[in-house]
Amino acid sequence: MSESGLHVRLRQAGPIPLDVEFSCGQNELLTLVGPSGSGKSTVLRSVAGLYQPREGRISCQGDVWFDVAGGVNIPPHKRPVGLVFQSYALFPHMTVLRNVTAALGSRPKQERDSRARALLSLVHLNGFENRYPASLSGGEQQRVAVARALARDPAVLLMDEPFSAVDRRTRRKLREELADLRKLMRIPIVMVTHDLDEAIALSDRMCVIDGGETLQIGTPDELVKAPKTARVADALDLAQFEPKQ
């Protein structure tokens, strides 16, 4: 029977310790939260195929992407993953439109332009097609990055600190747009964030990671009101947390 959603189990003693296990369902947004250096970005890179742990298994929509015991390791370019980086990672010499069409290589050439324009419309960038990244604000560059990630028709969307490089007002707007965009996509979304407010505002569930180890998974309400251990509360820095009104 095919398993929908994303399922991740990663283990290794070093060099980056990992003892992580979680699932993310269809149309679910799961945030990975915890202190800096806790392994959150390594987990995303493992799902994308950019890092290979020593043990573990990763499957998505019933397809096995990585399984050490079974000798499976699908290369990154063959994994249907949309990846959005903190640093945008746009091609500076390409227009906005070309940045998106570059990710549409699997589609017939005659379809790429119209599909790229539709994706730019989806992220509210109509009229920006011929601009270059250097002429865009941080928020606009991140919207291009999201459109490019979606151009791959991904089975899962991975976002690594996607809003941390923009100002608070832009961050709030991008959060709202992501919440709206989710309603149009029936795929798992896994996001790394250091911002507890952001995690609470966007998440269906949160996965607390510290020292490369999964400590607790639950809804934002469960984790904030009932952390399982003092270590979970410390990893979330709940002593300093003040809910935003």
- The C-alpha angle 14, 234, 194, rounded to 5 degrees, equals 70
| 235 has a pLDDT exceeding 60 | yes
Residue type present at position 98: R
Query: For the segment 130-140, what is each residue's pLDDT rounded down to a tens digit?
Result: 999 999 998 99
- Token code pair at residue 178: 């992501």
- Token code pair at residue 245: 């009104």
In what helix (H) or strand (E) does residue 70 lie, and over which residues does it extend? Answer: none
CA–CA separation, 215 vs 237, rounded Å?
A: 14
Cβ(120)–Cβ(92) under 8 Å?
no
DSSP β-ladder status, 81-84 and 189-192 = unpaired
| 1 has a pLDDT exceeding 50 | no
CA–CA separation, 8 vs 203, rounded Å?
A: 18
By C-alpha distance, which of 97, 91, 142 is closest to 118?
97
Query: For the segment 44-88, what is each residue's pLDDT rounded down to a tens digit?
Result: 999 999 999 999 999 999 999 999 999 999 999 999 999 998 887
Strand stretches in the chain, DSSP E: 6-12, 18-24, 29-33, 55-60, 63-67, 72-73, 81-84, 156-160, 189-192, 205-210, 213-218
Cβ neighbours around 236 below 10 Å, total: 23
pLDDT at 136: 94
By C-alpha distance, which of 10, 73, 4 is closest to 44?
10
53-62, 86-95, 145-154, range with greatest mean pLDDT: 53-62
By C-alpha distance, which of 212, 154, 215 is closest to 37?
212
How much of the chain is helix, strand and coil, in % rounded to 5?
Answer: 35, 25, 40
Query: For the segment 173-212, what is each residue's pLDDT rounded down to a tens digit?
Result: 888 888 888 888 889 999 999 889 889 999 999 999 999 9
Residues in the chain: 245
By C-alpha distance, which of 156, 142, 147 is closest to 87?
142
> pTM for the full model?
0.90
For 1-79+204-245, CATH number? 3.40.50.300
Q: What are phi and psi of 64, to 5 degrees?
A: -85, 120
Residue type present at position 24: C
| 241 has a pLDDT exceeding 60 | no
Going from N- to C-terminal start, the domains of the chain cover 1-79+204-245
DSSP β-ladder status, 6-12 and 55-60 = antiparallel
Cβ(1)–Cβ(176) under 8 Å?
no
